[in-house]
Copies of this chain bind each other. A is one copy, B any other.
Amino acid sequence: MSTELIIKSVSRYIQLSDDEKNYFVSLLQPKTIKRKHFVLREGQVCKYSTFVLSGCLRGFTLDSNGFEHVLNFGPAGWWIADMYSLITQKPGILNIEALEDTEALTLSKTDQEKLYTKIPQFERFFRIITENSLVSYQQRLIDNLSLTAEDRFHNFCKRYPTLINGIPKKQIAAYIGVTPEFFSRMQHNLLKKDRNAPIKR
């Protein structure tokens, strides 16, 4: 397995010696997830954090009417887990599924705790990435409370620039909270607006 991407991601926030890097890497397990296969299903206890090397995962919930609501995407370079279940070790509510064939590295909760004990700098790393994630959720909640679907789509594009053309449109619709039909009409209108926009000179 290539660990270049995960080491690069960690090195953005903490400086590790070669020994520390090797110890960290020794705790990671490679995982291949075929398209449409699940990493986690609602009701299971989440025992791993998953770091995506290539491909894409998505975390979603199903409501009582059977509608899917996408909580997050995990493209290359992102961590994904059911945080509630990972922390409490109670059954979670998230389904995590591969949108395409995905290569990932997993870190078990047990090994993550070992890591904190052996290399306390990882407390810092996970504090910072959790803070960044918290900010994204705060922003997304504000978007959901106060923005139109069109503005929520613009923010999706900013957050996941690599996904706009890479994943099915119905997944984007389930993320911004509209039906696929509404999403198609909206995209059609946005394109029309773009075509009619005055040319900047």
Copies in the complex: 2
Q: Which of A41-100 contact B (CB under 8 A)?
A: 61, 63-64, 67, 69, 71, 83-84, 87, 93
A164 at the interface (CB under 8 A from B): no
Asked whether A61 and B120 contact (CB < 8 A) given A87-B132, A131-B83, A137-B134, the answer is no
Residue-wise interface mask of A (8-28) relative to B, using a CB-CB cutoff of 8 A (1 in contact, 0 not): 000000000000000000000
Q: Which of A107-131 contact B (CB under 8 A)?
A: 116, 120, 123-124, 126-127, 130-131
> Which residues of B are found within 8 Å of A84, using beta-carbon distances?
135, 138-139
- Distance in Å: Cβ of A165 to nearest Cβ of chain B: 24
Q: Is the CB of A87 within 8 A of B135?
A: yes
Q: Considering the chains assembled together, what is the distance between the CA atoms of A142 and B87 in angstroms?
A: 18
Question: Interface residues of A, CB < 8 Å — how many?
Answer: 33
Asked whether, in the complex, the Cβ of A141 is within 8 Å of the Cβ of B137, the reply is yes
Chain B residues near A63 (CB-CB < 8 A):
145-147
Query: Is B83's CB under 8 angstroms from A134's CB?
Result: yes
CB <8 Å contact, B137 and A69: no
> Residues of B contacting A123 with CB < 8 Å?
120, 123-124, 127
A146, B61: Cβ atoms closer than 8 Å: yes
Distance between A42 CB and nearest chain B CB, rounded to angstroms = 11
- Closest chain-B Cβ to A123's Cβ sits at a distance in Å of 4
Identify which of B61, B116, B120, B130 contacts A142 (C-beta below 8 A).
B61
Extra inter-chain contacts (7) besides given A84-B135, A84-B139, A144-B145, CB under 8 Å: A61-B146, A69-B142, A83-B138, A134-B134, A137-B137, A137-B138, A137-B141
11 contacts between A and B (CB under 8 A): A63-B147, A83-B134, A83-B138, A84-B139, A87-B135, A120-B120, A123-B123, A130-B130, A141-B141, A144-B144, A145-B177
